A and B are shown apart, each in its own frame.
Chain A
């Protein structure tokens, strides 16, 4: 009987999900409620988790509950510790969910709400969550080894080096684009700038409290920090109206970019306990709190989605970034659908905390589903705005023009209604001087969140909600920036250690300064170019980041597929092989377009050539002509970087295929590096009790 009820229940979930997906996919002309997107997402996640993930765990990976995990075997009370599964889930989710799933869907909303939403749902269920889960499993079976080490042990030296180089470059581009997002959010906004600036001393106070005043009292310190952060949002409003303080925080993009570069260097050199660790606590609390609040607000408010299902920009003429729906929607939304970066987390801290292999499904697969849900909420926040407003905020001045009147005329000509007065009213409601051409996704997300929060919890506080949302985004963007710079520094020190032992020591000051400077100079360069680019820079950097991130995902899936084949599970290799084929298709075609397209808004070379001929003919206005040589150089650099990514990817794929063919034809291959089975005492105890 019980079994029958369960069957009926799951059939109902499947039916509701199908109904919701059909509703959002087939609806034309009328606006649709955001609750349908939530319903579709939750039903799809539930079905996928209950059936597909369970099947992978049981049949493909053959998870063994009686096997001791590295946390149990190597328990040292510090980094290897068997931990409660909900705690591991919390740590894993906090680590994988950064600003990516918020920014990507916001940018991809230019195609309408449907393409991005479908990719987030399908990509997560069949690709991203599978990648996270299998990587976590394979790393757990190998004492928590990193993706790079697994690639070297299982595929060979080439795969291992490729994973390492990919990780390093991705980090550089990711940090640059995130820095750009923060700069664009703070540009000529004294309120946002002063609030973001205040987060630095607040993090330091919290750090000193945790380290020296009350050592280890993490919760006390975090509560103090969160209260101070909320106060700093209010204080920013006061600064904004203060005559002498206001000019101190009112800056152009370039000085803000320099400030971020100096800050990034300081954060990489300073001890972690002073800035990075405490800021991370604050950002985790803010992140979880805000996401929960957003989910509650959407359910209470049930906002209507105003963006059309599909816009005319699927033809590649979109203002936010150039390029057709295929392949660019799949490159733009990386985190939230599938993100290679997650494989680094799933093969990092998480496997060292796992108490039992049976938790792998919940943590690996479930964690990614939750991140995907965050991406769906970001999509909702972007599409509940009037499309005219959405495009006015997100279109760069280089596309729609610098003057408000030109921008409005241009956006109206696309068929999206918006007026100058409407934008002025909105800007003054949000406490900003202007909202035109605030590219990068953060301001439009903040406007979306503020209007949702404002309608659910009180309209008079719109400006506070807006700056709260900006602070919330900035704080964990800066956490990723600090942490990424530091990781880049460690990787570089590790590499230099091969040539000079002294340079490899992580505490040797000249080495710390040298490597930190190299890493900061790397992303600082891309950030600088992004700021001086009249087209906003995000349109170049974000696709580059997407390609790099999907390349890393493809490498992770290559490693997983190789291991599956070598373990004699060829018939299940499609589980990772299918998403791998799709990723290779989209990254290769996106890279091809970025390099060879003749459309100046897509192809790097086309754009560089167009700019040089205009420069030579004297057609560029003085302000553009002065930066044109740097932009031309950068377009060339980006083209070669993209080429490099794609070559690395194909080398790894061919190496993996060579390995599989050798194995299948009975020739010797690298041994599986799985640690032998050891029975778990924890389970025995549990059974005996």
Chain B
């Protein structure tokens, strides 16, 4: 129960975004031969944060 809640909080806050990305990467890019290697945690976080703040995402 507590563990589930903790996972949820991590998910909502984006704390586990990198783990999610690794999962996505493994699922979608493993099959291709010339797949690009997964980004490091630091590189991924940079891209993730920058793309998050490109458009309008805060309101009145």
Chain B binds chain A = yes
Seen from chain A, the residues whose Cβ lies within 8 Å of a Cβ on chain B are 75, 77-79, 81, 84, 86-87, 90, 95-100, 146, 167, 174, 178, 210-211, 215-219, 222, 272-273, 276-277, 280-281, 334-335, 339, 341-342, 344-345, 348-349, 479-480, 483-484, 486-487, 490, 545, 549
Distance of A100 Cα from B56 Cα, bound (Å):
16
User: Which of B13, B28, B58 lies in contact with A95, CB distance below 8 A?
Assistant: B58
B50 touches A216 (CB 8 A): no
A-B pairs with beta carbons under 8 Å apart, 18 shown: A77-B24, A78-B47, A78-B51, A87-B11, A87-B12, A95-B58, A97-B59, A146-B55, A174-B60, A178-B60, A211-B45, A215-B42, A216-B17, A216-B44, A218-B13, A277-B53, A280-B58, A349-B52
Residue of B nearest to A96 (CB): B59
A77 touches B46 (CB 8 A): no
Residue of B nearest to A281 (CB): B13
B49 touches A277 (CB 8 A): yes
Residue of A nearest to B44 (CB): A216
User: Which of A272, A339, A344 lies in contact with B56, CB distance below 8 A?
Assistant: A344
Write the nearest CB–CB distance from B36 to chain A, whole angstroms. Answer: 12
Q: A345-B57, A348-B57, A483-B58 are in contact. Are A218 and B14 (CB under 8 A)?
A: yes
Distance of A273 Cα from B53 Cα, bound (Å):
9
Distance of A335 Cα from B58 Cα, bound (Å):
13
User: Which of B24, B25, B41, B57 lies in contact with A216, CB distance below 8 A?
Assistant: B41
- B30 at the binding interface (Cβ < 8 Å): no
Residue of B nearest to A345 (CB): B59
Q: A344-B56, A480-B60 are in contact. Are A77 and B45 (CB under 8 A)?
A: no
Given contacts A277-B52, A549-B60, 11 further A-B contacts (CB under 8 A): A77-B20, A98-B58, A215-B41, A216-B17, A216-B44, A277-B53, A280-B58, A281-B13, A335-B59, A339-B60, A483-B53
Distance of A79 Cα from B48 Cα, bound (Å):
8
Distance of A344 Cα from B57 Cα, bound (Å):
8
Q: A217-B15, A272-B49 are in contact. Are A348 and B56 (CB under 8 A)?
A: yes
B59 touches A342 (CB 8 A): yes
Q: A90-B12, A219-B9, A272-B53 are in contact. Are A479 and B41 (CB under 8 A)?
A: no
B60 touches A334 (CB 8 A): yes
Q: Which B residues are in CB contact (< 8 Å) with A348?
A: 55-57
B45 touches A210 (CB 8 A): yes
Write the nearest CB–CB distance from B58 to chain A, whole angstroms. Answer: 4
Write the nearest CB–CB distance from B54 to chain A, whole angstroms. Answer: 7
Q: Which A residues are in CB contact (< 8 Å) with B28?
A: 75, 77
Q: Which A residues are in CB contact (< 8 Å) with B41?
A: 215-216
Q: Which A residues are in CB contact (< 8 Å) with B21?
A: 77-78
Distance of A210 Cα from B44 Cα, bound (Å):
12
Distance of A228 Cα from B10 Cα, bound (Å):
21
Write the nearest CB–CB distance from A182 to chain B, whole angstroms. Answer: 14
Q: Which 10 residue pairs across A and B have the least CB separation, nearest first?
A: A100-B60, A77-B24, A483-B58, A216-B45, A215-B42, A219-B15, A272-B53, A341-B59, A218-B15, A98-B60
Q: Which A residues are in CB contact (< 8 Å) with B17?
A: 216, 218
Q: Which A residues are in CB contact (< 8 Å) with B13?
A: 218-219, 222, 281
A211 touches B58 (CB 8 A): no
Write the nearest CB–CB distance from A205 to chain B, whole angstroms. Answer: 16
Distance of A204 Cα from B58 Cα, bound (Å):
19
A81 touches B20 (CB 8 A): yes
A276 touches B53 (CB 8 A): yes
Residue of A nearest to B14 (CB): A218
Q: Which B residues are in CB contact (< 8 Å) with A97?
A: 59
Q: Which A residues are in CB contact (< 8 Å) with B42?
A: 215-216
Write the nearest CB–CB distance from B20 to chain A, whole angstroms. Answer: 7
Q: Which A residues are in CB contact (< 8 Å) with B15?
A: 216-219
Q: Which B residues are in CB contact (< 8 Å) with A335?
A: 59-60
Q: A211-B46, A218-B15, A272-B49 are in contact. Are A339 and B59 (CB under 8 A)?
A: yes
Q: A217-B15, A219-B10 are in contact. Are A483 and B20 (CB under 8 A)?
A: no
Residue of A nearest to B6 (CB): A219
Q: Which B residues are in CB contact (< 8 Å) with A217?
A: 15
Distance of A167 Cα from B25 Cα, bound (Å):
37
B60 touches A95 (CB 8 A): no
Write the nearest CB–CB distance from B53 to chain A, whole angstroms. Answer: 4
Write the nearest CB–CB distance from B18 to chain A, whole angstroms. Answer: 5
Distance of A87 Cα from B10 Cα, bound (Å):
10
Q: Which A residues are in CB contact (< 8 Å) with B14?
A: 218
User: Which of A95, A146, A273, A341 lies in contact with B49, CB distance below 8 A?
Assistant: A273
B52 touches A483 (CB 8 A): no
